[in-house]
Amino acid sequence: MTDTPEPVWEGKYLKVLKQGTWEYAGRTRGIQAAAIIAIHQGQLILIDQFRVPLGRRTLELPAGLVGDETEGESVEASAARELEEETGYRAERIEQLGFFHASPGMVSEGFTLVRAHGLTRTGDGGGVEGEGITVHHVLLAEIPAYIEARRAEGMAIDVKLLLFLSSTFLD
């Protein structure tokens, strides 16, 4: 495709672009995201929060935007900050696992998947004011059943949790 993307609309964090016959959304200012795998004492730490675009609570890995508050912030620094804000756990070390795209036919946004190592509990989590985050601790062996139970309750499930529906990742 040789067309140059044409801006259709741009806000503080999002923009809509058109390129040829394609219309898609992206992040402004080159902002990306980090999603965090945090396992503590045999339990995966998950969060849920209300997501306006879905109109319901969503079960997710802890995550956050990279560079939305501090220009030039590293993925590791952002992930560590978001993990502590959202879950109340501080990581000794953040390991990058790769860069991924969740919905490449609709959005240009990608995320870096990271794993947090050496977790220490520092607080209750819950995010910053207004986020309404609930923290969940799920035994690794119970993740598939836990996800299905939350789905049955009407909770949306983030695509990144597909990682944990296969036991091969947990080995």
At 125 the three-state DSSP class reads: coil
Do residues 12 and 58 both lie within one domain? no
86 is catalytic: no
Residues 85 and 157 in one domain: yes
Under DSSP, is residue 77 helix (H, G, I), strand (E, B) or coil? helix
Is the same domain home to 42 and 121? yes
Largest CA distance in the chain: 51
Residue 162 is part of which domain span? 31-170
Helices (H), 24-162: 75-87, 143-152
CATH number of the domain residue 87 falls in = 3.90.79.10
Which one of 76, 95, 129, 148 is the catalytic residue?
Answer: 129
38 & 24 share domain: no
Q: Are residues 122 and 56 in the same domain?
A: yes
* Distance between CA atoms of residues 108 and 40, nearest Å: 32
Buried b (16+ CB within 10 A) or exposed e, 52-76: eeeeebbbbbbbbbbbbeeeebebb
Read off the pLDDT band of 62 (50, 70, 90): very high
pLDDT classification of 167: cutoffs 50, 70, 90: low
Overall domain count for the chain:
2
Q: Strand 156-157 to strand 56-60: parallel, antiparallel, or no bridges (unpaired)?
A: parallel
| Per-residue confidence band for 168, with pLDDT thresholds at 50, 70 and 90 | very low
73 and 156 both lie in a single domain: yes
How does the average pLDDT of the chain come out, rounded? 92
Same domain, 18 and 78: no
Domain co-membership, 82 together with 140: yes
